Structure 1
């Protein structure tokens, strides 16, 4: 890991890079202002101002930025740890503030470098716009037909200040997007903190790291939906609008153009737009994800989801065929997610023939004990926890074996049990097969036989 290889030299380098830049810039500006009148030669001014500006612009990219950020985060982590009980939260916050500090420092350095380079023109310099290109009129602030060095510097300063504000807003948005990502380390299900925002943050991160667990599945879907909406808000408000404002585009104009363009595109290609909207809704709601087995409608299509595209969802059918389903069809018809299960049912009816029906209660009791002793079935305590988790809105019972009456074949033995939903299909079939073999042996041990319905061609 890069973080493990950091030394005190890396920490010192990061600190000097961040905190020494303002001092260096201040000394550079003071020196240039002091000797500006002595530098009338254009070549010397180019060497001093433009050369220094190029060096300053390249300076932020020269150090190993990742190592610098990790070094700053390592310095900030011990300062934050006394206020939060979770180490991963302290590291997250330290990385957030380190990213902000380093990003702001680099943006301010680039801003200062551009403004320093703009001073290359002497104070006595001027340009008659009547003898120059018309696009230079933008530099003429007072409209007198001449552009002076001060007007050029003022224009560069105003434009670079707007860019600096947009860059800082984008840096904040980028760090916020990184802050809400789940950490690489495992997050505990419950936090030790008594501060409810910290506990809630831990629950959200745990749900995002374990989206298939029964107790965190619903929360993971909600958090994922809110997270995606937050991504859109942060990208639009913090990383898009500030840059549009620089070129003079107001939000009202963009929304109006977007509305007209959206209407035209919608009329020209309603199906494409409908599939795009449906794909966005599927991504936001997340009823299924890549790798889930789903069934569309009344057994119209069953397969594994390979990819959820913007227009089509790609499904690997059980026959090996790759099927492309328009996203609109997935919203119009109901979809059964066969992967997300809280339990798997086992329901069997076995007909048995007794030479002595007085042994029937003993057989039923033995089969009931066999079910209660089976380690793969949901027992009474697990059933109670599952019902509490789902607010009682689930139909599941402890293992049951009972006498279901007589018919033309023999005595009917009813077996109902449930296994955990996390078990995949093949292990479930193996466990069910082993269970039924034990049931068959138990029936034989009690002097009974399994009855079969005879079929005739």
Structure 2
């Protein structure tokens, strides 16, 4: 749209108003249109929220800001068109290029926002019956947005009169030099790509490595590095190339948690140990939080220095760290009660010190004295 076209629509003659008035008129119309469009979008959005589909809201939300920005772009383009005719006629080409680049940028902005909104819908359990994996959705979203940005850049260069084929050729030749200069960056990029493809962990997983001092919750998986929040709430930034050379453990994907404890009773209670072990095993088999389908062992296995030791080896149904410790506490308290109910006690380290009788000590001293006397007489 040009100013001449707008004049014909509103019925203004070429000489009826000066250029300052024209600019003021355009800015005023732009403000009014922007206000009306914003109100219209909000009203439509409220209506669409009542529908069962979420995609119409995603499209409307993605178009809201680009559309209102397009109104400002048209308004400023018309204002510049008037001012350039009065002040700088040689700026016509520049303003035209700005208008074309602006349109391409707004379309790119709309598509990018739509991709981001789609990612949010696909991973939301409230909006999808079978939500997509967050890591996969994030990877696809980033790839699409990067492709859109590169395509838009090439279209803008073509619009400005640059040869796209020449740019691509330069990129092919210069890519070798860039590859050598940025090999670490590329290593991290492909490391991130392997994380997205292999998916050894996802955002929100608890991970740790026996090879490195890495342990915490994954917060973000980027193309260059992964951000992990350690358990003392410090952020840890790990280059993605690191994950290709280290072992990564993912406790978040465990199916059960293990209880493995050794308990000792006194040697004085040796006659009770068989029944104690039998009752502990029965208690574990009947416990609601213990998975009896997994390995369950309760056996006497050691004569300790001051105790008769038996061990418990079993698995809980829960994998939640906090709830697991509640279950473990309940199991240990029940074991303690079973030992007490059988009249036995839990052993603790003890030592027995044997002291010789006083009479034996006196006899030993007298014998030693007589022996010394006989030896002296013999020498004399």
TM-score interval, smaller chain: 0.5 to 0.7
Which position in structure 2 is the counterpart of 1:19? none
TM-score scaled by length of structure 1: 0.56
Is 1:168 matched with 2:140? no
SS at match of 1:348: strand
* Corresponding position of 1:203: 130
Equivalent position to 1:74, from 46, 53, 75? 46
Q: Which residue of 103, 107, 117 maps to 1:178?
A: 117
Structure 1 Cα separation of the partners of residues 179 and 340 of structure 2? 70
Q: Distance in 2 between matches of 1:98 and 1:252?
A: 36
Alignment equivalent of 1:223, drawn from 137, 140, 145: 137
Aligned partners of 2:33 and 2:71 also within 8 Å: no
1:236–1:340 Cα change, 3 Å: farther
Counterpart in 1 of 2:77?
Answer: 114
1:280-339 alpha-carbon deviations (Å, 9 max, x no partner) = 7657877557886543234x4244369768766677878999977554333311122345
Match of 1:328 among 241, 258, 271: 241
CA distance in 1, matches of 2:80, 2:138: 46
The count of aligned residue pairs is 344
Q: Is this contact kept in 1: 2:263–2:310, CA < 8 A?
A: yes
Question: Are the equivalent residues in 1 in contact too, given 2:30–2:71 (CA < 8 A)?
Answer: no
Aligned equivalent of 1:420: 318
Please say if 1:29 is aligned against 2:8: yes
Contact 1:163/1:243 (8 A) holds in 2: no
TM-score of the superposed pair, with normalisation by structure 2: 0.65
Q: Which 5+ residue runs of structure 2 have no aligned equivalent?
A: 353-380
1:12-411 to 2 correspondence within 5 Å? 28-31=7-10, 35-36=13-14, 39=15, 44-47=17-20, 49-59=22-32, 63=35, 68-78=40-50, 81=51, 84=52, 89-90=53-54, 93-94=56-57, 96-97=59-60, 99-100=62-63, 103-104=66-67, 107=70, 110-111=73-74, 114=77, 118=81, 160=99, 163-182=102-121, 187-188=125-126, 201-204=128-131, 219-237=133-151, 240-249=153-162, 252-275=165-188, 277-278=190-191, 287=200, 294-298=207-211, 300-304=212-216, 326-339=239-252, 341-350=254-263, 355-356=270-271, 360=274, 362-375=275-288, 377-379=289-291, 397-398=293-294, 400-402=296-298, 404=299, 408=303
Question: By how many angstroms is 1:73 displaced?
Answer: 0.9
Who is 1:445 aligned against? Answer: 341
Quickly say closer, same or farther: Cα 1:110–1:203, change in 2 above 3 A: same
Cα separation, partners in 2 of 1:303 and 1:406, compared to 1, 3 Å: closer
Shift in Å, 1:252: 4.6
Q: 1:370 to 1:229 in 2, by over 3 A?
A: farther
User: What is the distance in 2 between the residues matched to 1:159 and 1:315?
Assistant: 42
Residue 319 of structure 2 corresponds to residue 432 of structure 1? no
Change (3 A) 1:280 1:181: same
> Cα–Cα, structure 1 residues 400 and 240, in superposed 2: closer, same or farther, change >3 Å?
same
Bigger CA radius of gyration: 2
Provide closer, same or farther for how the CA distance between residues 406 and 273 of structure 1 changes in structure 2, counting only shifts above 3 A: closer
Q: Deviations over 1:365-419 (max 9, x none)?
A: 53234224445x2446xxxxxxxxxxxxxxxx447344x4665555855431224
What is the alpha-carbon distance in structure 1 between the residues aligned to residue 229 and residue 107 of structure 2? 45
Question: How far apart in 2 are the matches of 1:246 and 1:419?
Answer: 63
Counterparts of 2:80 and 2:238 in 1: how far apart (Å)?
A: 57
Secondary structure of the 2:257 match is strand
